[in-house]
């Protein structure tokens, strides 16, 4: 039986909740099952009301530190401290990448540029694509 709704027709977007795009792409890593990456425990269970909240989440949890050394991956409070560090001689030891899974600067930049479109689901998929450029969206 079909019910006609009067006066309160929703286009469906009002009640849409978004999850973290990373948890869509790697559900195991970005969930409470990942005891090694405590930061990511909330990723699969956070429900974000709109694209700007999705972005906030990405900046908060998935952004690399603002000023980190590309060699040793130490992070610094200011760009000046980082500059001093990268110019010191002998230079620091190159270490293994500490946060390879976090958003690169290019990714961060393209996500910042995304304006919430009329269809926020579409915007969400565009953001997912920014993060997973190899079509590897499981
Ligand atoms: Zn997340
Ligand atoms: Zn360094």
Q: 65 CA to middle of ligand 2, Å?
A: 13
Judge if pTM exceeds 0.85: no
Give the separation between CA 48 and CA 50, rounded to whole angstroms.
6
Is 116 within a domain? yes
Boundaries of domain holding 47: 21-64+99-131
How confident is the prediction for the chain on average, in pLDDT? Answer: 83
Q: Give a yes or no: residue 16 inside a domain.
A: no
- Judged by its nearest atom, the ligand closest to the C-alpha of residue 61 is 1
49 part of a folded domain: yes
Q: What is the pLDDT of residue 134?
A: 56
Measured distance CA(138)–CA(128) in Å, rounded: 11
Ranges of the chain whose pLDDT falls below 50: 1-13, 135-138
Strand partners, 63: 103
Classify residue 86: in a domain, yes or no: no
Indicate which ligand has the atom closest to the C-alpha of 43: 1
- For residue 57, report the distance from its CA to the centre of ligand 2, in Å: 28
Task: Give the number of domains in the chain.
Answer: 1
Cα–ligand 1 centroid distance for 43 (angstroms): 4
- Is 76 a member of any domain? no
Residue 51 lies in a domain: yes
Residue 6 lies in a domain: no
Residue 112 lies in a domain: yes
- As residues whose CB is below 5 A from the ion ligand 1, the structure lists 20, 22, 43, 61
């Amino acid at each position: 039986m079909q019910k006609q709704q009067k006066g309160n027709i929703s286009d469906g977007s009002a009640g849409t909740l978004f999850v973290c795009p990373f948890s869509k792409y790697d559900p195991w890593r970005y969930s409470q099952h990942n005891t090694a990456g405590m930061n990511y425990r909330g990723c699969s269970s956070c429900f974000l009301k709109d694209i700007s909240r999705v972005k906030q989440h990405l900046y908060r949890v998935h952004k690399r530190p603002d000023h980190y050394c590309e060699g040793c991956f130490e992070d610094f409070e200011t760009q000046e401290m980082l500059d001093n560090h990268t110019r010191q001689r002998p230079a620091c030891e190159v270490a293994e990448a500490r946060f390879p899974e976090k958003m690169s600067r290019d990714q961060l930049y393209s996500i910042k540029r995304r304006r919430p479109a009329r269809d926020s689901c579409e915007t969400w998929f565009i953001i997912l694509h920014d993060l997973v450029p190899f079509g590897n969206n499981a």
